[in-house]
Amino acid sequence: MYPRIIINKEKFRHNLRYLLDLCHEKGLSMMAVSKVFCAEHTLIDIMIEENVDYIADSRIENLVGIASVIPKVLLRLPSIGDAKRVVMHSDISLNSEISTIRYLDKYAHELNKNHGVILMIDLGDLREGIFAKTEVIETVRKILKLKHINLKGIGTNLTCYGGIIPTEEIMSQLVDYKNLLENEFNIILDIISGGNSSNIELLIDEKIPEGINNIRLGESVVLGRETAFGNYIDNTYADVFTLEVEIIELKEKPSIPIGTIGMNAFGKVPKFEDKGNILRAIIAVGKQDVDYLELIPYDTVELLGSSSDHIIVDISESLNVYTVGDTILFKLTYSSILSLMTSKYVTKTYE
């Protein structure tokens, strides 16, 4: 059934194993992030078989379905409304709000559990995390009074909202926080979580400061790519995921529409380049599943545009002779994997 996403299990396993070994070699534990593939159980099973240190996801719905002794980590800050489910279905969550942590404590008490918290510190990317040093100290003081919360450590997240590239200097600030908090409160923080796939180059170059002992990796596992500069990582696969879509119409037609151009199906006025008559294929996938600009064709075809359920492809330059019912294959980006895996209209298959 098309459209289908084809997932190569052995390439996935290879990337995961390679990065896990790399982290361990450099003295870091790794949180393997499953959110981009919606925690599909076949890939989760591979994470479990490869014995990752932690399984991490941003959605509690994804963690609910994972049964393993490997600790489960919720990456997105819990909402108060979800606090009970978070305690039930994750071992550790990343947090920055004491009010939410108090709810986690309340439900952990009710459920007779302990819940681990990694306190997030914002080092400049301006997404989640406490920004002011005084607030970090005061929040830790309050957390330490909670009976059912175990302060597992601190963490930061860069290159997400602000695009800030991790450097030794920025990472050292996290180590300074670790030292400050350990001295101030006479505690040991187990986990100092330095970031995501944007830390890979620092990791390879051995520039992660001493004291940081964990990273959380998603994109580098699924795409073999670090995210500070977008470089592919040696010895990893970029084609774990492939999209295959069927042609449902194939006709020679003009390259510009006929008549007065108004708005398209999404309220935008489209622009066209006149290339004369072209061979146009309609493939059965659309905006509801993926942004066509995030698909990279293997063949020499050009993606012209899309509506909810269709993408229009100029196949005039292809050396292949297509007919209706044939399929076109695409390499994927992080965002196209994310949306295609989320779409219920896309079949997930394994090879």
Ligand X SMILES: Cc1ncc(COP(=O)(O)O)c(C=O)c1O
Which positions are catalytic? Answer: 35
Dist CA 223 CA 197 (whole Å): 10
| From candidates 78, 153, 166, 218, binder to ligand X by CB under 6 A | 218
Contact call for residues 201 and 210 (beta carbons, < 8 A): no
CA 327, 333, 336 angle in degrees (round to 5)?
65
The first and second tokens of residue 244, run together, are 């295959």
- Single out the segment in contact with ligand X by CB under 6 A; choices: 60-68, 206-214, 215-223, 305-313: 215-223
| Smaller CB separation from ligand X, 193 or 343 | 193
| From candidates 115, 216, 225, 310, binder to ligand X by CB under 6 A | 216
| Smaller CB separation from ligand X, 17 or 148 | 17
| DSSP assignment string, 199-231 | GHHHHHTT-SPTT--EEEESHHHHHSB-SSS-P
CB of 36 to ligand X, least distance (A): 7
First and final C-alpha spacing in the chain: 15
Q: Is 152 in the site for ligand X (CB under 6 A)?
A: no
Q: Is 3 in the site for ligand X (CB under 6 A)?
A: no
Q: Is 91 in the site for ligand X (CB under 6 A)?
A: no
Residue nearest to ligand X according to CB distances in the complex: 218
| From candidates 156, 227, 236, 339, binder to ligand X by CB under 6 A | 227
CB of 277 to ligand X, least distance (A): 43
Q: What are the backbone dihedrals phi and psi of residue 248, each rounded to the nearest 5 degrees, phi first?
A: -110, -10
CB of 338 to ligand X, least distance (A): 9
The first and second tokens of residue 218, run together, are 């998603």
Q: What are the backbone dihedrals phi and psi of residue 263, each rounded to the nearest 5 degrees, phi first?
A: -95, 150
Pairing of strands 311-314, 149-155: unpaired
CB of 220 to ligand X, least distance (A): 6
CB of 344 to ligand X, least distance (A): 21
CA distances, 201 to each of 44, 154, 212 (Å): 26, 21, 15
Dist CA 140 CA 138 (whole Å): 5
| From candidates 122, 125, 219, 246, binder to ligand X by CB under 6 A | 219
Binding site for ligand X (CB under 6 A): 33, 35, 58, 75, 94, 157, 196-197, 216-220, 227
